[in-house]
Each structure stands twice: as structure tokens, then as C-alpha cells.
Amino acid sequence: MHGEYKVPGGKLVVVDVEVADGVLRDVRVAGDFFLEPDEALLDIDRALEGAPADTPAPQLAARIDAALPEGTIMFGFTSEAVGIAVRRALAQATDWTDYDWQLIHDGPQSPALHMALDEVLTAEVAAGRRPPTLRVWEWGSPAVVIGSFQSLRNEVDPEGAARHGMTVVRRISGGGAMFIEPGNTITYSLCVPDALVQGLSFADSYAYLDDWVLGALEGMGVKAWYQPLNDIATDAGKMAGAAQKRMVAGDGAVLHHVTMAYDIDAEKMLDVLRIGKEKLSGKGTTSAKKRVDPLRRQTGLPRPAVIDKMIDSFRDRYGLTEGSVSAVELARAEELAATKFASPEWTARVP
């Protein structure tokens, strides 16, 4: 069995392993990491040899740590990364490059339709009718997007939302409220087979699925990192927030979507989001600006140029072909947008 794990911001760890009588056998660890002394690699292999095949990654890491000689230097990887690679090998996880990725980047669409497209396209990936997909959104109107389990009244000031022409919608994933202005926001979704994240914990899957965009940002001169559980951050503040939804039908699929701040109108945000008022009480607009670090300031690039560079970076890593939403998918999404995501019952399902 063969497993690979690219450490977010780090190096690739590769594990080849067999299982006999319920334990790990013939373990071989490799990768493009750095390790001193050389002999420590054999210590890692020996530490994993004979471990029960159901040992979780943290416990595999503990076995490695206990076996390494004092003063061992691991650069670009960690003992837990090796444990994750083992788990991915045993789960027969796939890799990004095992798939023919499709790009969808259509014109502006309504907030409710965006919510519906996420659900429909992920279900199609789970059913095997659609290849893994990167969808870059264009917003047709300003919106507040609240998490699946958030209280509507606690998160949104209805008078502020109406004053600024904000449509309020609820997504199918958890997490916090997102303040959306079309020209100030970059949003994308990844609809991926469940096999891609096999062997990863829920938290690890966020970092794993965000790694490509960290590379894209680095290519634009932005030093950013994954900040648990679901943020992308810089020294100056939060840049983006991610959320996920797992679908178990068919072969299973994961929806991973990210909203990034290209720019921010902090005063308007504070007038619309109640959570912002609570978190920033007594600090006001200046603090709100410090909490979010927009891409416009970081890159100096127009929003379309940032998006183009992100897409190019993904394509360079994994390959990417132009695609579109099929007529059947669009019809289903339009129905869901009307009957579910634009309905008061869904939006206020947690009042």
C-alpha cells in the first residue's frame, strides 16, 4: 500500500507499507524532506514496524518520537505527518494528480443559486457523474452568508442588511457568517471525492485542501498560512475563512469552500453583522480593519488578476480544464435555490 501526504507549507512524505496479521510490515518512509542524522530514517521505519494497523496518526507519531535519537532535526515534515501518510496508505487515499480537474468560472449569480450549486455539484461528484471541480464564484449581489447552524437573529441586523441591499442566505456547511460585496470578495469551492481526504482528520483536511491557495498567494508575494480550524491568515490578520460539508451518498464527496477578502468596507460590515459588533465592541472600525487583511492591500493587483493567478497556480500543480454547469445540474440548482435556499423556512431554520 502506498500513501502520500504533502505537509501544508512543507514537504512531501511518502509511505509504502504492508499489513500482515493486523500489524504494519515492511514500512518504508521517503520524501523530499530534510532529516539529520541520516540514520534517523531507519529509526522511523523501525518505530512503525509492528504497530497495530488501526493505530491513529497521533499514536504513530508518538512511536516515532520515542524512537528518534536526541538532537534529530526534521525539516519540512513532522512525525505526525508520517503518521498521516501511513493512515492515507492504509485507507488507499487518492492524490490530487489522480484526477482530471474541471474549472467552472461563470458570470455573476444570485446568492441563493450559489448555495444550491454547491450542494448539487458536490452530490454529482459523490455520484461519480462529475469530475472533481474547482468553482470560482462571481456574486450577482451583496449578501450575508450564515453557517448552517447559526442563529439568524444573533448574526444579522435585519435593518442594516436591508439598508445596504444585502440578501441573507444560509449555506449547508457550518462555520461563521460571511459579509459579501461582489467587488470586494473572492469565493471558490472545491467539490472533491471523499477518497482525496481519506486518512486525514477533519482538521487536517482543511489544511490539506487549502495548501494550493497558500502556494498561489506566495506566488503573488503574500506570506499566508493555515490557521486552525478554518482560517487563512497573515501577520496583519485574517484573509479568508473556509467551511466544509461531507456528503455520504454514492462514493462520498467533500465540499470545501473559501471566502477571501479582496477588500473590506468595515463600517458597512459592522452595520450588518451583529457578531461583528459583539466581537469588536468598544474598538469600532479601526479594529475591524485590523482583524481582516485584504488581498488588495497585500497584492496591489486588481481582483480579476488575483483570481487568474489563483487559477493558473492550481492548473500548474494539478491540471485543470475549462468546464461548465450542465443543463441538468443548473435546472436542479435553480429548483433548490427557489424551494430551499431562497425560502424563509431554510434561512430562519435556526431563528
User: 79 near 61, Cβ under 8 Å?
Assistant: yes
Per-residue pLDDT in tens (0 to 9) along the chain, 351 residues: 999 999 988 999 999 999 999 999 999 999 999 999 999 999 999 999 999 999 999 999 999 999 999 999 999 999 999 999 999 999 999 999 999 999 999 999 999 999 999 999 999 999 999 999 999 999 999 999 999 999 999 999 999 999 999 999 999 999 999 999 999 999 999 999 999 999 999 989 999 999 999 999 999 999 999 898 899 999 888 899 999 999 988 889 999 999 999 999 999 999 999 964 445 444 444 445 446 779 999 999 999 999 999 999 999 999 999 999 999 999 999 999 999 999 999 999 999
Please report the pLDDT score of residue 250 as a whole number.
80
Looking at the DSSP bridge assignments, the partners of residue 180 are 143
* Alpha-carbon gap, residue 262 to 280, rounded angstroms: 21
Please list, in sequence order, all residues whose beta carbon lies within 8 angstroms of the beta carbon of residue 308, skipping any fewer than 6 positions away.
Answer: none
Which candidate, 147, 174, 186, places its Cα nearest to that of 292? Answer: 186
Please list, in sequence order, all residues whose beta carbon lies within 8 angstroms of the beta carbon of residue 276, skipping any fewer than 6 positions away.
Answer: 179, 269, 270, 288
Please report the pLDDT score of residue 279 as a whole number.
52
Residues in the chain, total: 351
| Residue that has been written with the C-alpha cell 488507499 in this structure | 92
Q: What is the secondary structure of 255-316 as a DSSP string?
A: EEEEEEESS--HHHHHHHBHHHHHHTTTTHHHHHHHHB--HHHHH---HHHHHHHHHHHHHH
Please report the pLDDT score of residue 282 as a whole number.
42
Please list, in sequence order, all residues whose beta carbon lies within 8 angstroms of the beta carbon of residue 283, skipping any fewer than 6 positions away.
Answer: none
Please report the pLDDT score of residue 291 as a whole number.
63
Q: How many Cβ atoms from other residues are within 10 Å of residue 106's Cβ?
A: 14
**What secondary structure letter does DSSP report for 96?**
G
Which grid coordinates are listed for 165? Answer: 441591499
Please report the pLDDT score of residue 292 as a whole number.
75
Q: What is the secondary structure of 26-73 as a DSSP string?
A: EEEEEES-EEESTTHHHHHHHHHTT-BTT--HHHHHHHHHHHSPTT-E
Angle of helix 202-219 relative to helix 303-318, nearest 10 degrees, comes to: 120
What is this structure's pTM?
0.91
